Amino acid sequence: MQILKPRPDFIIVKDYFTPVQASKWIELILKKGQDPLRGFTHPDLKPNRFHPTPKYPVKNFMCMGFYWNPLNYSYHKYIPDQTFKPWPIPASLREFCSSVLETYFPWNKYSPETVLVNYYDSKSAMGLHVDKDEEDDRSPVIGMNFGSTCRFFYENENGLISDVKIPGNSVYVFGKSARLMRHGVGTLYSNTLSAGSEQYLKNKERISLTIRQVYH
């Protein structure tokens, strides 16, 4: 494991997952993603002056816990227009959060309430944005990374945008002074699939899980 600190209160733990652990996480996600009701979708976004029918920038999207609606940036118990809820957050994911925070980012009483799963392909990218849709916008955001290395943009302490490579099998956490930093995901690098992901993901594919507490 190697720890990077690109800016205060933003850490990246490289090689957090062993290849075997990574395979298990990816398998779990892909299995849930295949479900026709709660699994991966490619949601619509609000029309804008450039695009009458814009789509969420990452092709496969799924939530666990609360559903984050990319149409209006709000959280919901139920999947929009459905009578059922997203997948519950697995106990293993809760245990993972406790362990990461305890070791790398001490935080009192973290309760994971939503997990956004983004499955990137070679055409996907996520523009700069601030995670500010949570009523609790103080608790840290925890990110799990599998597959290809991405170019991750973030706002540094001077308000300028810098970037760092985040490889698969790593974990990141941003909170405290970094919680409301702008961030985004650019290019996925070729031929960088992390160990344990090769049998599930193609070149220039990446799965990220970002975990948040939504309410106080």
State in angstroms the smallest separation of the CB of 83 from ligand AKG.
26
State in angstroms the smallest separation of the CB of 131 from ligand AKG.
5
* Chain positions contacting ligand AKG, by CB under 6 A: 116, 118, 126, 131, 143, 183, 185, 208, 210
**In the chain, what is the greatest distance between 2 CA atoms, to the nearest angstrom?**
46
Q: List helix spans (H) across 43-151.
A: 91-104
Q: Considering the complex, state which of residue 23 and residue 208 has its C-beta at the smaller distance from ligand AKG.
A: 208
> Alpha-carbon distance 87 to 127, whole Å?
26
Q: Considering the complex, state which of residue 101 and residue 209 has its C-beta at the smaller distance from ligand AKG.
A: 209
Q: Considering the complex, state which of residue 23 and residue 60 has its C-beta at the smaller distance from ligand AKG.
A: 60
Contact 111/185 with Cβ under 8 angstroms?
A: no
Q: Considering the complex, state which of residue 149 and residue 208 has its C-beta at the smaller distance from ligand AKG.
A: 208
State in angstroms the smallest separation of the CB of 19 from ligand AKG.
20
- Measured from each CB, the residue nearest to ligand AKG is 208
Q: Considering the complex, state which of residue 52 and residue 197 has its C-beta at the smaller distance from ligand AKG.
A: 197
State in angstroms the smallest separation of the CB of 12 from ligand AKG.
11
Contact 78/64 with Cβ under 8 angstroms?
A: no
Strands of the chain, DSSP E: 2-7, 10-14, 60-65, 67-69, 74-76, 114-120, 126-129, 141-147, 150-155, 161-166, 171-174, 183-188, 206-212
